[in-house]
Homo-oligomer: A and B are copies of this chain.
Amino acid sequence: MPDLKSYIDHLYCPKCNSIYPHEAVAHLCECGSPLLAAYDLARAKAELNKADIAGRKEDLWRYGELLPVLKEENIVSLGEGFTPLLPLQRSGEQLGVAKFFVKDEGLLPTGTFKARGAAVGVSKAKELGAGTLIMPTNGNAGAAWALYGARAGLSVKIVMPEDAPKITRSECLYGGADLYLVKGLISDCGKIAARAVAGHGWYDASTLKEPYRIEGKKTIGLEIAEQLGWNTPDVIMYPTGGGVGIIGIYKAFRELRELGWIAGEMPRFVAVQAQNCAPIVKAFNEGKNVSEFWPDSSTVAFGINVPKALGDFLVLEALYETGGTAVAVSDDEIVSGQSELCAREGLFACPEGAAVYAAAGRLRKDGWIREDDSVVMINTGAGIKYPDVRSFTPPYLPLDAELQTP
C-alpha cells in the first residue's frame, strides 16, 4: 500500500457548478444533484508519473493519489481491485471483433463490482467520522457496504426489495447489519431510507447521495487503461442501473487525459439495459438529457432494475460526449447469453454481465461495433450469486453405474 497523498481538492456540482469542501460530510448539492470529487490534477501531473504506480501492489489503492482517502489508517480493505482483463477469443472470432475483452468484476470481495464503491465509500465515511450508514439497495451494493461496514466497525442499515438476490441477505446479516425487506422496488426502499436519514441524521450511503462510491468505481477505468498499457479501448460496454460504473469509468478516463497518461479519442460508451427497464435507452433514443421513471420495471438482471437513476444525466452525457449508444436486451437474450458466454469462455458471469455480452452481439450485427474495434465489456459480478436464473435437472447414476461414451 503506497503512502497516501491524495490530490483531492474539493467537491463540485456537475449541474449548477457549486463548490463544497471535501473535509466535511457532504451528500447532495443544494440544487439536488449528486456531487463529484475534483482533484488538483495540474499538481498531480507535475509530481506523479505512471512509473510511480507500476511497482505497487495490484489493488485499487495503488491509485491513492486519485482517491479521496487522506490517511492510510482509514483504509478499509478486503483486498479489492485489479480484477483481470481477460481475452474472449472464441467470442471475438464468432462475432467478428478483432479484440474482445471482459473486465471480470466477479473476482472482488462480495463477488461484485460493488466492492469498489464500498471500499472507498466506507473508508471515506470512516475518515469523516460517520457512525451509522443507511442505504437502499438492489442487493449487491448493500451486501458490500454491510461487509466493509463490519470491517470498519460501523453500524449499517440496509433496505432491500424482497426480490433481490437471496444470498445478499445473508451477506448483510452475517456482517451484522440491520436488514429490512420491502415488497417493492429500490425506489421504494430509497424513500424509506431518505425518511430515516432526515429523522436520525444517519449517513446516507444511497447511490450518488454521497460522492465517494463513484471514486471507487472510477478505479475500473484506471485499471483498464493501465492493463492496456495506458491506452483505452474503442468501446466500453456497461450494464446500467444506477449508472455509477459508466460515470466512474468516464471520470477516470477524463482525469487520465488531464494527467496526460492517455491520449487519443475517448472510447465510445455503451449503456446496456433490460427491455423491461430501459429508461436510459429511451432517453438516449429521444435525444434527451434526463430519463423518466420507468413504470412496472422487471428483469432477470436484478441489478439493473432501476427505474430512475439519480445520475441519469451524467450517464447520458458520457454517451453523447463519446459518440456512444444505449441498448436494451430481452431477458431471453440475457439468459441465453449467459450460457453461451460460459460454455465458450469458461466465464460464469452474472445476468447483468450477460446482458452486455448479448448487446455486443447485437451491436456487431448492426455494424455499430466494427470489425477492427477493441471492445471491453464489464462483467459486474459472479454468476454464483444468482443460482435461480436457470434450473437444471442433471441425471442420477446408481452406485454401480458404467458411464457410456456420448
Question: Interface on A for B, CB 8 Å cutoff?
Answer: 55, 57-59, 76-79, 82-84, 86, 104, 106-111, 134, 147-152, 157, 159, 162, 166-167, 169-176, 178-184, 188, 191-192, 195-196, 199-200, 338-339, 342-348, 382-385, 387, 390, 392, 394-397, 399, 401-403, 405-406
Contacts and interface: CB of A to CB of B under 8 A. Distances in A.
B399 A184 contact: yes
Given A108-B107, A173-B394, A346 B178 contact: no
24 contacts: A55-B55, A58-B82, A59-B84, A106-B109, A150-B342, A150-B345, A151-B345, A167-B384, A170-B383, A170-B384, A174-B338, A174-B339, A174-B343, A174-B348, A174-B390, A175-B343, A180-B394, A180-B397, A181-B396, A192-B399, A192-B403, A195-B403, A199-B403, A200-B405
Contacts of A178: 406
A397 B343 contact: no
| Number of chain copies forming the complex | 2
Contacts of A387: 166-167, 170, 387
A142 B401 CA distance: 19
Contacts of A344: 150
Contacts of A173: 392, 394
Nearest to A346: B151
B86 A396 contact: no
Nearest to A132: B405
A394 B169 contact: yes
A399 B181 contact: no
Given A108-B107, A180-B403, A175 B397 contact: no
Given A192-B401, A397-B180, A402-B195, A175 B86 contact: no
A104 B78 CA distance: 9
A339 B173 CA distance: 9
A62 to B, nearest CB: 11
A203 to B, nearest CB: 14
Contacts of A188: 399
A65 to B, nearest CB: 20
Q: Is the interface of A mostly helix, strand, loop or mixed?
A: mixed
A181 B196 CA distance: 49
Contacts of A345: 150-151
B382 A111 contact: yes
A188 to B, nearest CB: 5
Nearest to A160: B394
Contact of A86 (B79, B157, B181, B392): B79
A152 B90 CA distance: 11
Contacts of A346: 76, 78, 109, 147-152, 175
A185 to B, nearest CB: 10
B192 A394 contact: no
A195 B84 CA distance: 39
A170 B183 CA distance: 28
Given A173-B392, A175-B343, A394-B179, A147 B348 contact: yes
Contacts of A171: 348, 383-384
A397 B159 contact: yes
Contacts of A79: 83-84, 86, 104, 107
B403 A181 contact: no
A31 to B, nearest CB: 27
Nearest to A109: B107
Contacts of A383: 170-171, 174
A162 B173 CA distance: 28
A225 to B, nearest CB: 16
